Amino acid sequence: MSDSINPAEVDAVVLVGGQGTRLRPLTLSAPKPMLPTAGLPFLTHLLSRIAAAGIQHVVLGTSYKAEVFEAEFGDGSKLGLQIDYVFEDEPRGTGGGIANVASKLRYDTALVFNGDVLSGADLGALLNSHHDRDADVTLHLVRVGDPRAFGCVPTDSNGVVTAFLEKTQDPPTDQINAGCYVFKREVIDRIPKDRAVSVEREVFPALLADGLKVCGYVDATYWRDMGTPDDFVRGSADLVRGIAPSPALKGHRGEELVHDGAAIGPGALLIGGTVVGRGAEIGPGARLDGAVIFDGAHIEAGAVVERSIIGFGARIGPRALIRDGVIGDGADIGARCELLRGARVWPGVRIPDGGIRYSTDV
């Protein structure tokens, strides 16, 4: 066996078919991997990492709103990639999604990604670790500060996975499944094709039970699953501030990222990794802290937006306060409204001036 694996002879598979329910209402109009993140579709950051690692062929496993991916990425040549698309009529889950792309795979090794994870893992080192151990499957396992929110994956002293454990208050290890896996091509053929299957809950435990060699590649890199509004906001801010790596941002680093055609009024304060989309307007004296403002949104004078996502073309009225909220596309939030702690406003909804308040001042 040669010393290292040639990434040009590895297929990347990216699962992008989920409905992204936890990010509704934003995912009613766009699938999660296409939501703008630091000004680019989230998937662009991931595809740029794949290209930077020397991988050339990518298969996107689509289902929900499948057509928008090909419209954006085409044959992949703009990113230096060759992209194929495989569509599932019926979503087959994360395992079924992998099985379903099998006919498009070209090589003996496939590197599979959840399409919503922001990560700094060294993909070349992950592939080499798989190759050196002659593993059937290698999972990227990341060490996290608080593993209680995740299922964890212990390994033995040789790096072989010993179990897949559900969430517990007392996890035996801080290693969690990072949503990125290397598969030997023939192992993919073991996944049932005719029904929905979860790779985490069903495929991996079955491979262990069948005695296959399932290994872990462990690191403590930057890692975030962008699936919830809170994580989406933090991940976006980390990209803007250069804390999360992305070859697509070409080294941008700063407190804010303002895109072409956006207008920022006098005295407006943009901090905490705020991103302002194309054609958005920020009024005088507005305060944006860790805010994600999609294209064409308007934030009026004196409004405050903290750790929140403001959808395409939405309007936040004068002196309104949005904290830890999600405002759907085209929604209109009246002056002085206060929307706090996980509030979600559906697209196009109009809330009149002063219509929702947490305080009694007029």
Burial of 351 (0-12, 13-18, 19+ CB in 10 A): middle
Shortest separation between residue 9's beta carbon and ligand GTP, angstroms: 24
Residue 314 in tokens = 């939405």
Q: In what order do the strands lie in the sheet with 326-327?
A: 256-258, 274-276, 292-293, 309-310, 326-327, 344-345
Q: For ligand GTP, give the closer residue by CB, 38 or 180.
A: 180
Residue 60 in tokens = 């996107």
CA–CA–CA angle 282, 27, 121 (5° rounding): 90
Q: For ligand GTP, give the closer residue by CB, 258 or 326.
A: 326
Among 292, 250, 298, residue whose Cα is nearest residue 270? 292
Shortest separation between residue 43's beta carbon and ligand GTP, angstroms: 9
Shortest separation between residue 123's beta carbon and ligand GTP, angstroms: 17
Q: Hey, how many other C-beta atoms are within 10 angstroms of the C-beta on 1? A: 7
User: At 224, which amino acid appears?
Assistant: R
Q: For ligand GTP, give the closer residue by CB, 6 or 21.
A: 21
Q: Hey, how many other C-beta atoms are within 10 angstroms of the C-beta on 2? A: 6
Q: Are 10 and 55 in contact (CB under 8 A)?
A: yes
Q: Are 92 and 48 in contact (CB under 8 A)?
A: no
Shortest separation between residue 50's beta carbon and ligand GTP, angstroms: 14
CA distances from 50 to 11, 37, 45, 86 (A): 10, 17, 9, 18
Residues lying near ligand GTP in the complex (CB under 6 A) are found at 15-22, 32-33, 61, 63, 88, 91-94, 97, 114-116, 227
The Cα 28–Cα 312 span in angstroms is 12
Q: For ligand GTP, give the closer residue by CB, 69 or 217.
A: 69
Q: For ligand GTP, give the closer residue by CB, 87 or 318.
A: 87
Shortest separation between residue 102's beta carbon and ligand GTP, angstroms: 13
Q: In what order do the strands lie in the sheet with 350-351?
A: 263-264, 281-282, 298-299, 315-316, 332-333, 350-351
Q: For ligand GTP, give the closer residue by CB, 84 or 88.
A: 88
Burial of 194 (0-12, 13-18, 19+ CB in 10 A): exposed
User: At 340, which amino acid appears?
Assistant: L
Shortest separation between residue 339's beta carbon and ligand GTP, angstroms: 21
Q: For ligand GTP, give the closer residue by CB, 14 or 38.
A: 14
Q: For ligand GTP, give the closer residue by CB, 90 or 146.
A: 90
Q: For ligand GTP, give the closer residue by CB, 64 or 107.
A: 64
Shortest separation between residue 222's beta carbon and ligand GTP, angstroms: 18
Shortest separation between residue 285's beta carbon and ligand GTP, angstroms: 36
Residue nearest to ligand GTP (CB): 18
CA distances from 1 to 133, 134, 166, 206, 210 (A): 11, 9, 36, 28, 25
Shortest separation between residue 93's beta carbon and ligand GTP, angstroms: 5
